[in-house]
Structure 1
């Protein structure tokens, strides 16, 4: 007996002036054509894809539903609805895969429940490894430049003793994040290990990655 696939829709728009309704209607139509049952719909309206899971309540709620094994497949309009980084997307895909949940991306025509979709997922892994290597190279180069120039990482200490303690703590966290990233760890894992927000990790990594090479 064939079991109906339970599907969760994920909808996101970047600005409050946009609407998720077009995404919803199209994905509901896809589900109907495939005979899928839409059991939940998660939304992040007016939230940038660059934000981490801790700042996207819809995404966080969806991944909790995935962890509870309440869905068999996650459907989204496009890859950029889920995130802006190939590495971050692959991390999400791995989280889904660990729970036996597939992913459907409408614009890219990706369905990891099919053999061609699985092959595309493997290719994405190759490109994500390349992106991760490039990030590691830039982070290591930044650390080396800072050390060679005698520069202390983080915000400069100034003002009261309390200010200096805060600056010292920020410098320590800054260095730990960059070292963990250089070791190939993902942003979510780093945040959990250091007890800080994913957005903080993302900010530190972006600042270093954006710094000019010597």
Structure 2
């Protein structure tokens, strides 16, 4: 029988919206339906170290092991005991992933600033906006859902289009 000690450590609402897959894996572990969670690398779990660590602790309490493929490391040994090397590697890799995201962000912002400084225009070239009729023809599925009374968010979800695309189509429909 699996322990339910982890109920107090469940993710908070903000964390759940960021990573609903973690919550699902946690629920499956609590139900005893899984014995191992496989990820390619630790950075795929979450952007914040605290979320990763909480998730791993919850899994361990439920006797579910986390295996990350890139390093070939598992949090629980075959005996069910905690792998002593795993927490150290987890902390190190999670911190490296967080640092990598920050570095990438700095590089992108720096590149954009440099482009602006050199006078380059950013964004979509002028004249690439579709004419109203062409837009409505291209996004017939969006038009159909909006005319059926669906909200922008639901239409975007149903048609697998971006919310801004749906809003643009809605604006064109309203102007006709």
Could you say which TM-score interval applies, normalised by the shorter chain? 0.3 to 0.5
**TM value normalised by structure 2:** 0.41
Structure with the bigger percentage of strand: 1
Structure with greater Cα Rg: 2
Q: Which has the higher contact order (CA 8 A, sep 6+)?
A: 1
**TM value normalised by structure 1:** 0.35
